[in-house]
Amino acid sequence: MKKILVIEDEPAVRNNLRLLLKAEGFEFIGAENGDVGVKFATIHKPDLIICDIMMPDFDGYAVLNTLRQDKTTAMIPFIFLTAKADRADLRQGMQLGADDYLTKPFTRAELLEAIAIRLKKQEAVTNLQNKIQELQELNVKKDDLLATVSHELRAPLANMKMMIQMLEVIPNEERKQHYRKLLEAECVREMDMVNNILDWQRLESEIQETSLETLILQYWLSNIIEPFQLRIEQRQQILKVNLPPHLPPITSDRACLEQILRELVNNACKYTPKYGEISISVELNDSARESNSTTTVIFKIANQAEIAAAYLPKIFDKFYRVPDADFWKQGGSGLGLALVHQLVEKLEGTIQGKSSDGWTTFTVQIPTTISP
């Protein structure tokens, strides 16, 4: 309900306006003089002000001038209401910043038309201001990301340059092969970082649309895990998957959910030592169904390695990497978990990371059906 403040010293006129505006669905705020009107404008922040010009002590011009100097009330649409119709008076009001001018006597239709025009214009101005604010915030985010990215991209590029130089001068073929593998690893790291940065930028810019489809978890999850099985076997890690046979289909964004689980399984492989165990499980949150709240599906990815308590609060920060935890020297962008956190929020879910007793567990909980 739009609030309209009427500043009018004549009780009969004020009462007539009260009845008219309330009948049209507006919230009416009345002030009997200019001083009270300024106070009410500051307190109530109305959507529009209708103010008489000819009032004793504190006239309409003084009211408008006072409100326009206060940034909290300066943008409120302002309509003068007066028996005066002299061009000089009109010009003075407009110079002070009045939006419109109604001369008594006026009809109900004239008043409502003036109100509708001003409210519509103000809505357009507010929408434009909000859009400008969003663009300014987006600019700040981009500047911040560019500053960090430029620093993070230099390290693998410098390493690659050094390895290329070493390949040119080392005669030993075995040593050359060693540097080729290192160079390949740095190239993969650089590509991962670029891809993660692009994904992050799309999420921050809110240009990545949600594409919903039905997923049969029993089949879909197998396709997610399969590409990691060879790596797990080569590293002599142990993979355990707990997938109940009767899970219901879910409706979600396939690409987002795949990226979330692939990143978490990739991290588990990266940070699990030889002979260490990796566990992947899925379950339905039955308690949600019993309490008539949104039914959710829970994914748990755990691996046999512990993150120190001091590092745990930082794991979802951009470009953060846990020190000395990468057993296989796989490298990474430091954006993976930050991106996962953003993607989980996009799917209207939650993610938690816990680490104790030699295990680290990430728990992702998302609705079985999300809104488009």
Name the 3-class secondary structure at 328. Answer: coil
| pLDDT (tens place) for every residue of the chain, 372 residues total | 899 999 999 999 999 999 999 999 999 999 999 999 999 999 999 999 999 988 888 998 899 999 999 999 999 999 988 776 555 566 666 666 678 888 888 889 988 999 999 899 889 988 988 888 888 877 776 676 666 666 667 767 777 888 888 888 888 888 888 888 878 877 877 787 788 777 777 776 665 677 899 999 988 999 899 989 988 999 999 999 999 988 889 999 998 999 999 999 999 998 999 999 999 999 998 665 555 567 899 999 999 999 999 999 999 987 788 888 877 776 666 788 989 999 999 999 999 999 999 999 999 999 998 876
**Alpha helix ranges (H) inside 284-323:** 286-290
**356 DSSP 8-state letter:** E
Spatial distance between the Cα atoms of 360 and 371, rounded to a whole number of angstroms: 31
Task: Identify the structural domains of the chain with CATH numbers, from first to last.
Answer: 3-106 (3.40.50.2300), 209-372 (3.30.565.10)
CA dist list (Å): 117 to 5, 129, 225, 261, 359: 16, 18, 60, 52, 64
Strand partners, 278: 239, 303
Asked if 187 and 224 touch (Cβ cutoff 8 Å), the reply is no
Could you check whether the bond before residue 105 is cis, i.e. omega within 30 degrees of 0?
A: yes
Long-range own/partner contacts, residues 118-121 (CB < 8 A, 24 or more apart) = 118/48, 118/77, 118/79, 119/2, 119/47, 119/48, 119/77, 121/77
For 210, the token pair is 């949600």
Strand partners, 361: 302, 354
* Residue corresponding to tokens 């009330």: 73
